[in-house]
Each structure stands twice: as C-alpha cells, then as structure tokens.
Amino acid sequence: MDLYGIVGAGGFGREVMPLARSMLGKRISTGALELVFVLDAPVETSINGHRVLSTDAFLASPGARWFNIAIADGVARMQLAERLESAGAQPFSVIAPNAVVMDNNHIGNGAILCPFVVVTSNARIGRYFHANLHAYVAHDCVVGDFVTFAPKVACNGNVHIGDHAYLGTGAMIRQGRPGRPTLVGAHAVVGMGAVVTRDVGPNTTVIGSPARPMLAKS
C-alpha cells in the first residue's frame, strides 16, 4: 500500500489533512493508499482519525511514499524536503476543491493551496509554496521556493518574491509594472497587515502602512 504523509500535525497540518483526504478520497476508499501524519517524535498514535508515524517509520515503509510538508517556516520546510527526497519519498501538492487556478500558471511540487486561494494567470511559483485561506497571486507574478503566504495575502500583478519569504496575514503587495516588478527579497518578512508600496530587500522585515523596515531594538 502506498503511504501519503502530511508532515506536521500542528494547527496548519490538521487543517491541511482534510484537504488531502478530500483530494485522495477515492483511492483511500479502495485501499490503494493510507493517509497519515508524519512527525519526528510522535507522542500520540492517532490524530483526528489518522495514524501517526515517526519520520523514520514513514521512510522505512514498503511501497511508494509521498509527502506534503504543512510547516510554515520555509527553512524548516526546505530541510525536511531535502531529507525526505534524499530517502526516496516524493512530494505531492494539496489543492483545496474550491481553490482557483486560472490560465498558463506553473506551480512547483509540494504546494498547499488552501480554500478560497486564487492564482490568476501567467504566474510562476516555485516548490513547496504555501497559500493559506483567501490568499491570491495575480497575473505575471514570480514566486520563489519555500515561500509562505498567510491568510488573505494580496499579491497583485507583476510582483517578484524571493525564496523563503514570509508574508503575514492580510499583507498587501503593490502591483508592479512589466519590466519593473515590485520586489520582495529572499528571506524577507512582511508583517501582518503591512501594505508594501516599494521594494523590500532580502532578509528585511517590514511592518505598517506603508510598510517600512522594522527597527532593531537598542
């Protein structure tokens, strides 16, 4: 039997599990696969009706092993993905039934598109992307690997976002122009409710409206 694992059983993992179950339901009902939680050091043997396996037990299981990582931290997600892929497991994406993906988009492996997410047209999105409830990616955006959108992120057209960036709940990114996209750098953090009207540099945290770099405490 094939195993499909949701890595992480915190709040987000428990929200993603029913989406995966809905997507894989026919194959689960026929016994073709089992959908489990995967944790490094599990305490419980079952969560919300699904068996819990340690990472080692999941990787040692016979048959094909597929995984999705429901952990918001992009660096932790990358480290887990590298470990699982190097052991022969393969990523799968989880896409809610009411998520909308329009024309000519590319979305990398291991994505999570939660309910009411919209990706409009001609977007290029990297591996292991997370888009939480009601977030959207508009036309001609380029999104790197291991990027996280919290709920209600509004990423307007012609925005380029670097690897491992984190956009907090309700963040809004101003639309760029062809040849002059709005940039959010790698490992940047856009705070909850921030309104980004100018480029955000790599490794920079911005907050407020309009968004400005957060000053370090003295």
Count of residues in the chain: 218
Q: Which residues contact 86 (CB under 8 A, 6 or more apart)?
A: none
Given a contact cutoff of 8 angstroms between Cβ atoms, the answer to whether 198 and 179 are in contact is: no
Place of tokens 């699904």: 50
- Cβ-in-10-Å burial (0-12, 13-18, 19+) of 73 comes to middle
Burial class of residue 16, CB neighbours in 10 A (0-12, 13-18, 19+): buried
> How far from the centroid of its chain's Cα atoms is residue 212's Cα?
25
Q: Is 160 a catalytic residue?
A: no
Active-site option among 139, 160, 164, 187: 139
What residues act catalytically?
139
